Amino acid sequence: ALEKKVVKSKVGENVGLPCCHEIPSSESLHNYRVYWQKNTTEVVLAYAEGKKICKHKRYENRTEMGTRNLTLWISPVEILDNGPYQCVVQHLRFSQNSIVLCDEPVTLFVTADFSKPNITAEVSANSCESTEMVVRCSSHGGFPKSTISGALNNISVVWNVTWVSESSLSLYNVTGELWLNVTEDVIFTCSIENNGFAKSTSLLLKKTNDCVAPAVPPPYNVIAASSIIIVVFLLAITLAARYLARHVCSHCCKPQDSVEEGVKECMKPPVSYKVTSETSSL
């Protein structure tokens, strides 16, 4: 009985909504009035004395009714077909009076499968330590709203989810967005579950930069001290070079007058000493 009250179908399929009464083989549809209506106000299909007396424009060429089990067949199913229906059966015993045999509701639950999730990753910032990414997962053409989930190396993450639909009875498009700071290569998985079935897509997110961190520049005081040492060293080398040049020149390059005097001294005859008899006698 519970299965008759709720019927599930997907968009585009052929579905039958069971009625609460079945005409015995000893009778025919001519002895009955049958009304199939939606939301208790919208007549989908109606028969009286075996003839079709009413049909809704939106269901034209999409509905049929069984002549014995009074099942309402809808094909193809659309999103707008979602909702409660009611089968009202009257028996015509007399031309002016009728007896209501049943008027039980049945609910049609329409679903549409979402497409397989599509994952995209966009690098927003990059450094040697990590890669910042904007990861998006999207799916379209589903009904009703479903559960979208994500996992980073099998660890659940929380999406920033956006649903887009023209109305509450239209197909949905969904996009989940997530900001990630990737420090190593990871597997990202996006799943969407609808009507008990899940579709998943995985993507390898790579850390895009493995550069070597630049050397930290020395502080200003170190640079200043190094500069002073270098300047002093160069100045010392310059002064030493000048001193050595002058010292060598003083030994190898004497003035001409000094040389000539030296030669004259060498050419003087030796001094002779006369020994007197007085001296010798001493």
Confidence label for 266 from pLDDT (cuts 50, 70 and 90): very low
In a 13 Å sphere around the CA of 241, the CA atoms on its Cβ side amount to 6
Cβ-proximal residues to 139 (8 Å cutoff; 6+ apart), any chain = 114, 115, 116, 117, 118, 148, 173, 174, 192, 199
pLDDT value of position 5? 87
pLDDT value of position 216? 61
The total of other beta-carbon atoms located within 10 Å of residue 71's CB is 17
Residue 272 has pLDDT above 60, yes or no: no
What structural domains and CATH numbers belong to the chain?
5-111 (2.60.40.10), 118-205 (2.60.40.10)
pLDDT value of position 236? 76
Residues 49/30, Cβ–Cβ less than 8 Å: yes
Q: How many residues make up the chain in this entry?
A: 282
Residues 5/107, Cβ–Cβ less than 8 Å: yes
Q: How far is CA 150 from CA 113, 158, 183, 260, in A?
A: 19, 7, 18, 107
Please give the model's pTM, rounded to 2 decimal places: 0.65
In a 13 Å sphere around the CA of 157, the CA atoms on its Cβ side amount to 22
Higher pLDDT among residues 127 and 108, named by residue: 108
pLDDT value of position 229? 83
Residues 138/117, Cβ–Cβ less than 8 Å: yes
Q: Among residues 92, 82, 89, 91, which one has the least CA distance to residue 104? A: 89
Q: For 150-198, how does the pLDDT look when each residue is reduced to its tens digit (9 = 90+)?
A: 999 989 998 899 999 998 889 999 999 999 988 899 999 999 998 778 9
Most confident of 93-97, 165-169, 277-281: 165-169
